[in-house]
Protein backbone atom coordinates (compact mmCIF):
# COMPACT_ATOMS: atom_id res chain seq x y z
CA UNK A 1 0.00 0.00 0.00
CA UNK A 2 2.84 2.43 0.79
CA UNK A 3 4.27 2.54 -2.79
CA UNK A 4 0.81 3.26 -4.22
CA UNK A 5 0.22 6.00 -1.63
CA UNK A 6 3.60 7.51 -2.45
CA UNK A 7 2.79 7.47 -6.18
CA UNK A 8 -0.51 9.22 -5.58
CA UNK A 9 1.21 11.87 -3.45
CA UNK A 10 3.79 12.46 -6.20
CA UNK A 11 1.04 12.73 -8.80
CA UNK A 12 -0.91 15.22 -6.68
CA UNK A 13 2.19 17.29 -5.94
CA UNK A 14 3.04 17.45 -9.65
CA UNK A 15 -0.52 18.45 -10.52
CA UNK A 16 -0.46 21.23 -7.92
CA UNK A 17 2.87 22.55 -9.23
CA UNK A 18 1.54 22.54 -12.78
CA UNK A 19 -1.50 24.50 -11.66
CA UNK A 20 0.69 27.00 -9.84
CA UNK A 21 2.84 27.48 -12.93
CA UNK A 22 -0.17 28.00 -15.17
CA UNK A 23 -1.97 30.33 -12.77
CA UNK A 24 -0.71 33.51 -14.45
CA UNK A 25 -3.88 34.51 -16.35
CA UNK A 26 -6.15 33.81 -13.37
CA UNK A 27 -3.88 35.78 -11.05
CA UNK A 28 -3.84 38.71 -13.46
CA UNK A 29 -7.64 38.77 -13.36
CA UNK A 30 -7.35 39.08 -9.56
CA UNK A 31 -5.40 42.33 -9.71
CA UNK A 32 -1.94 41.16 -10.69
CA UNK A 33 -0.19 43.46 -13.17
CA UNK A 34 -0.65 42.68 -16.84
CA UNK A 35 2.33 41.37 -18.77
CA UNK A 36 4.28 43.96 -20.70
CA UNK A 37 2.62 44.54 -24.07
CA UNK A 38 4.08 44.73 -27.56
CA UNK A 39 5.89 48.00 -28.14
CA UNK A 40 6.79 48.49 -24.45
CA UNK A 41 10.51 49.04 -23.84
CA UNK A 42 11.87 45.97 -22.08
CA UNK A 43 13.34 46.81 -18.66
CA UNK A 44 17.09 46.45 -18.64
CA UNK A 45 18.59 44.04 -16.12
CA UNK A 46 21.81 42.41 -15.14
CA UNK A 47 21.78 39.05 -13.32
CA UNK A 48 24.33 36.39 -12.50
CA UNK A 49 25.12 34.15 -15.46
CA UNK A 50 25.68 30.44 -15.08
CA UNK A 51 29.42 29.89 -15.18
CA UNK A 52 30.28 33.44 -14.05
CA UNK A 53 29.80 36.99 -15.19
CA UNK A 54 26.44 38.60 -15.82
CA UNK A 55 23.63 38.53 -18.34
CA UNK A 56 22.67 42.13 -19.17
CA UNK A 57 19.77 42.66 -21.55
CA UNK A 58 21.16 45.87 -23.08
CA UNK A 59 24.28 43.95 -24.17
CA UNK A 60 22.06 42.26 -26.76
CA UNK A 61 20.62 45.44 -28.31
CA UNK A 62 20.44 44.94 -32.07
CA UNK A 63 19.48 41.28 -31.66
CA UNK A 64 16.21 39.48 -31.10
CA UNK A 65 16.19 38.15 -27.54
CA UNK A 66 14.08 35.29 -26.20
CA UNK A 67 13.70 35.68 -22.42
CA UNK A 68 12.37 32.53 -20.80
CA UNK A 69 11.34 32.86 -17.14
CA UNK A 70 11.42 29.45 -15.44
CA UNK A 71 12.15 27.59 -12.20
CA UNK A 72 13.56 24.16 -11.36
CA UNK A 73 10.36 23.11 -9.53
CA UNK A 74 8.00 23.96 -12.42
CA UNK A 75 7.03 20.92 -14.58
CA UNK A 76 5.80 22.96 -17.59
CA UNK A 77 9.07 24.91 -17.47
CA UNK A 78 11.02 21.67 -17.65
CA UNK A 79 8.88 20.46 -20.56
CA UNK A 80 9.55 23.69 -22.47
CA UNK A 81 13.35 23.52 -22.20
CA UNK A 82 13.95 20.99 -25.01
CA UNK A 83 11.68 23.09 -27.24
CA UNK A 84 13.75 26.20 -26.49
CA UNK A 85 16.88 24.25 -27.35
CA UNK A 86 15.32 23.27 -30.70
CA UNK A 87 14.53 26.94 -31.35
CA UNK A 88 18.04 28.01 -30.31
CA UNK A 89 19.58 25.54 -32.77
CA UNK A 90 17.17 26.57 -35.55
CA UNK A 91 18.13 30.26 -35.23
CA UNK A 92 21.86 29.71 -34.74
CA UNK A 93 23.87 32.06 -36.93
CA UNK A 94 21.13 34.70 -36.92
CA UNK A 95 20.99 37.67 -34.57
CA UNK A 96 18.89 35.82 -32.00
CA UNK A 97 19.82 35.08 -28.38
CA UNK A 98 18.01 32.74 -25.98
CA UNK A 99 18.30 33.47 -22.26
CA UNK A 100 16.88 31.09 -19.66
CA UNK A 101 16.16 33.19 -16.56
CA UNK A 102 15.65 31.18 -13.39
CA UNK A 103 13.30 33.09 -11.07
CA UNK A 104 11.41 32.26 -7.88
CA UNK A 105 13.94 29.59 -7.00
CA UNK A 106 16.68 28.66 -4.55
CA UNK A 107 20.29 29.18 -5.67
CA UNK A 108 21.36 25.71 -4.53
CA UNK A 109 18.56 24.11 -6.55
CA UNK A 110 19.48 26.19 -9.62
CA UNK A 111 23.15 25.20 -9.29
CA UNK A 112 22.24 21.51 -8.90
CA UNK A 113 19.91 21.69 -11.92
CA UNK A 114 22.62 23.36 -14.00
CA UNK A 115 25.18 20.73 -12.99
CA UNK A 116 22.82 17.92 -13.98
CA UNK A 117 21.33 19.43 -17.15
CA UNK A 118 23.65 22.14 -18.52
CA UNK A 119 25.22 19.94 -21.18
CA UNK A 120 21.81 19.45 -22.81
CA UNK A 121 21.45 23.13 -23.72
CA UNK A 122 23.38 25.54 -25.91
CA UNK A 123 21.72 28.76 -24.75
CA UNK A 124 22.65 30.98 -21.81
CA UNK A 125 21.20 30.75 -18.32
CA UNK A 126 21.01 33.24 -15.49
CA UNK A 127 19.80 33.23 -11.90
CA UNK A 128 17.84 36.02 -10.23
CA UNK A 129 18.72 36.16 -6.52
CA UNK A 130 15.94 38.70 -5.87
CA UNK A 131 13.35 36.00 -6.51
CA UNK A 132 9.80 37.12 -5.74
CA UNK A 133 10.79 40.46 -4.22
CA UNK A 134 9.54 43.71 -5.80
CA UNK A 135 13.09 44.19 -7.14
CA UNK A 136 13.13 40.75 -8.77
CA UNK A 137 13.35 40.21 -12.46
CA UNK A 138 9.94 38.57 -12.57
CA UNK A 139 8.40 41.69 -10.99
CA UNK A 140 10.11 43.98 -13.52
CA UNK A 141 8.45 42.01 -16.32
CA UNK A 142 5.13 41.53 -14.43
CA UNK A 143 5.55 37.75 -14.49
CA UNK A 144 2.86 36.06 -12.39
CA UNK A 145 3.04 32.52 -13.82
CA UNK A 146 5.80 30.45 -15.35
CA UNK A 147 6.98 29.59 -17.84
CA UNK A 148 6.61 33.05 -19.31
CA UNK A 149 8.50 33.94 -22.45
CA UNK A 150 9.14 37.42 -23.80
CA UNK A 151 10.37 38.05 -27.32
CA UNK A 152 12.35 41.31 -27.41
CA UNK A 153 12.96 43.01 -30.75
CA UNK A 154 16.34 44.43 -31.85
CA UNK A 155 15.33 47.91 -30.58
CA UNK A 156 14.81 46.54 -27.07
CA UNK A 157 11.02 46.57 -27.17
CA UNK A 158 8.65 43.75 -26.29
CA UNK A 159 7.47 42.06 -29.48
CA UNK A 160 5.48 39.19 -27.92
CA UNK A 161 4.62 37.55 -24.62
CA UNK A 162 3.85 33.87 -24.17
CA UNK A 163 2.59 32.26 -20.98
CA UNK A 164 2.66 28.51 -20.46
CA UNK A 165 3.80 25.66 -22.65
CA UNK A 166 2.12 22.62 -24.20
CA UNK A 167 3.66 19.95 -26.41
CA UNK A 168 3.61 21.08 -30.01
CA UNK A 169 3.52 24.77 -29.02
CA UNK A 170 4.79 26.98 -31.87
CA UNK A 171 4.07 30.46 -30.46
CA UNK A 172 7.77 31.29 -30.09
CA UNK A 173 8.43 30.38 -33.72
CA UNK A 174 5.43 32.45 -34.89
CA UNK A 175 6.66 35.49 -32.92
CA UNK A 176 10.16 35.11 -34.36
CA UNK A 177 8.80 34.89 -37.92
CA UNK A 178 6.95 38.17 -37.39
CA UNK A 179 10.35 39.74 -36.67
CA UNK A 180 11.84 38.33 -39.88
CA UNK A 181 13.75 35.50 -38.24
CA UNK A 182 14.05 32.44 -40.47
CA UNK A 183 12.90 29.39 -38.58
Q: Of the candidates 69, 136, 58, 123, which has an alpha carbon nearest to the alpha carbon of residue 97?
A: 123
pLDDT at site 3: 53
pLDDT at site 4: 55
Number of domain units in the chain: 1
In this structure, is the dihedral angle defined by the CA atoms of residues 36, 147, 62 and 60, taken in order, positive or negative? positive
**Could you tell me if 84 and 68 are in contact, meaning their C-beta atoms sit under 8 angstroms apart?**
yes
Q: Please indicate, yes or no, if residue 42 is contained in any of the structural domains.
A: yes
Q: Please indicate, yes or no, if residue 125 is contained in any of the structural domains.
A: yes
Main-chain phi, psi angles of 40, to 5 degrees = -75, 135
Q: Please indicate, yes or no, if residue 183 is contained in any of the structural domains.
A: no
pLDDT at site 131: 86
pLDDT at site 33: 83
By residue range, what is the domain housing residue 94? 2-178
Query: Which is it for strands 158-163 and 148-152: parallel, antiparallel or unpaired?
Result: antiparallel
Q: Please indicate, yes or no, if residue 108 is contained in any of the structural domains.
A: yes
- From first to last of the 183 residues of the chain, give the pLDDT tens digit: 455 554 444 343 444 344 444 444 444 445 678 999 999 999 999 999 999 999 999 999 999 999 999 999 999 999 999 999 999 999 999 999 999 999 999 999 999 999 999 999 999 999 999 988 999 999 999 999 999 999 999 999 999 999 999 999 999 999 999 999 999
How far apart are the C-alpha atoms of 126 and 116, rounded to whole Å? 16
pLDDT at site 85: 98
| CATH number of the structural domain spanning residue 59 | 3.40.30.10
How far apart are the C-alpha atoms of 103 and 82, rounded to whole Å? 18
Q: Of the candidates 51, 45, 32, which has an alpha carbon nearest to the alpha carbon of residue 152?
A: 45
Paired with 159 in beta bridges are none
How far apart are the C-alpha atoms of 129 and 132, rounded to whole Å? 9
pLDDT at site 115: 97
Amino acid sequence: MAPRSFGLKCYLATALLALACAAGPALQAQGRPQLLTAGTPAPDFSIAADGGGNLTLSDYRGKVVILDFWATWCPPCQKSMPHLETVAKAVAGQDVVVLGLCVWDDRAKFDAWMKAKRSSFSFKFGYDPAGRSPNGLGAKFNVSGIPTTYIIDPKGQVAATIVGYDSGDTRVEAALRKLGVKI
